Structure 1
Amino acid sequence: MADMLVRLYALPERGPSRLAPDVRIRRALAAERRVVIAWIEERFGAGWAGEAETAFSSTPARIHIAHDRDRILGFACHDVTALGFFGPTGVEAAMRGKGIGEALLIESLLSMRAAGYAYAIIGGVGPATFYARAVGAVEIAGSTPGIYAGMLFPGDLASGT
């Protein structure tokens, strides 16, 4: 799976939300760390949970969550495996296709832009057409196998960011 590059200075403006009225996207809080990490590990495996733990190690946390009241629906991290990288990100299987992944992606990328980045790398992309459509991401030639080559948990990351 190749990496993709996003021009943060050319991100689309936040348009009308496709999210259900009770769905919120926000930065996760340190007090939520154990609940969020357990949720990620149960649904996406130890590799992604490990990366998400790193996201909680900075202030502010480098992880955004989508939730409906007290129910987690999805998450997105940035600057965890490498600086300037977006991911991992995931949405509850039953909630996919409702705009949650795109909202998490854009919120994380806007945070990266606010931190001073001009570009972001999406590592080991699975749904390339989604990233191209949502934020104009383009494939980085020669980026396979990329930073994740030789990992101890290769199957855990195989589904893509």
Structure 2
Amino acid sequence: MANSSVGPVLRTAVPEDLPRLRAIARAALVHDEDAEAVIDLLWTEADLHPALRVVAEEDGVPVGFALGSVRAATDTAPRSGHLNLLAVNPACQGRGLGRALLVDLERRLGEESAARLVIRGNPPNYAWPGIDIRYTPAICLAESSGYLRGKEGLNMRVDLRAAPLDTAADEKRLAEAGVTVRRLRSEDEPAFRRWMLDWGGAWEGEGAKSLTYDTPRGHVAVRGEGKETRFVGFACWGVNRLSWFGPMGTERSERGSGVGTVLLRRCLADQRAEGLDVAEIGWTAPIHFYALAVGAALGRVFWTYTKELP
């Protein structure tokens, strides 16, 4: 393809571009087997701000794109503009297309009143904690464009073929102690969502998404049933990406009882039943817990970035 002397044409992407964007993602995201599904996820995230879908084209053909989103201000952070994904066809890399897309998306995020630019997952619809450090050109682009590196995110991998996922004995022991572990049900939604708000952050939204599947992709630990139901633990899987596990939480009063291990193993068993050989525990915090419970090992490393706007 000829490289035009006037540079690429940048415009707002439209649904008709999606087949080409999926193809670009498939070629560029070599460390993500579900790249096409990621595009659909992040495209939906931009529904409230369609202008944050940018495509670069040469000779009328899309050769790169960028997808963004906005997060409302909180008590501790200003309104932020998230750079969710930037990808360029490998055959067209090295010509400044990535930088042109980044600059244009930054401008558009500024027009959406973002005071801070962020390269970090924007839950509940997110694909990564940040930039996978194996995508070296993306790291170089961010750091040469004034972004400051922040906290890193870690994923762990679980070999579902070898992991100990049986929970029968532990569930019996918990039941004798008054705790029932079961699949999340559609009728749980009102009470479950109210309870999830207590966890803060974006977990309520992710938990709610687990209920949108025909078979809910979540399990809960409860004390009591019916109007007396009290949730004491939860775990979800495949909320955004089929192979990813999380989020998960256990009430402090139940920690150490084995509730978390049962919830984790039940979710991983679901993923194995879906035909997966490997699951990823996303944005991991308690590394020791996962290693002990299912033999999880550290896997992907992500760097997050921020950049202040005037």
More relative contact order, 1 or 2 (CA 8 Å, 6+ apart): 1
**What secondary structure is seen at the aligned counterpart in 2 of 1:125?**
coil
Aligned equivalents of 2:299 and 2:166: distance in 1? 26
| TM-score normalised to structure 2 length | 0.45
Partner of 2:174: helix, strand, or coil?
coil
Match of 2:162 in 1: 10
Q: Who wins on radius of gyration, i.e. which is larger?
A: 2
Say whether the 8 Å CA contact 2:165–2:268 is kept in structure 1.
no
Q: How many residues align?
A: 146
Please name the residue that 1:155 is paired with. Answer: none
- 260, 263, 267: which is aligned to 1:101? 260
Q: Which residue of 2 aligns with 1:154?
A: none
Write the letter of the residue equivalent to 2:244: F
Give the alignment of 1:1-161 within 5 angstroms. 1-14=153-166, 16-17=169-170, 18-21=173-176, 22-42=178-198, 44-69=199-224, 70-141=229-300, 143-145=301-303, 149=304
Query: CA offsets, 1:11-45, max 9 Å, x none?
Result: 21526325251211111111111211111111x11
Task: Provide structure 2 residue ranges, at least 5 long, that are not aligned to the other structure.
Answer: 1-152, 306-310
Secondary structure of the 1:134 match is: helix
Q: Deviations over 1:87-128 (max 9, x none)?
A: 000001111111000010001110111111111100111100
**In structure 1, C-alpha distance between the alignment counterparts of 2:266 and 2:221, rounded to whole Å:** 10
Q: For the Cα contact (< 8 Å) 2:165–2:294, is it kept in 1?
A: no
After superposition, the C-alpha distances for 1:34-79 in whole angstroms (9 at most, x for unaligned) are 211111111x114111111110100100010001111111000000
Q: Once the two structures are aligned, what percentage of the paired residues are identical? A: 36
Structure 2 Cα separation of the partners of residues 37 and 128 of structure 1: 27
1: CA distance, partners of 2:201 / 2:283: 17
- CA distance in 1: counterparts of 2:274 and 2:257, whole angstroms: 28
Normalising by structure 1, report the TM-score: 0.84
Instruction: Supply the distance in 2 between the matched residues of 1:111 and 1:30 (Cα, whole angstroms).
Output: 17
- Alignment-mate amino acid for residue 166 of structure 2: R
Contact persistence 2:165–2:269 (CA under 8 A): no
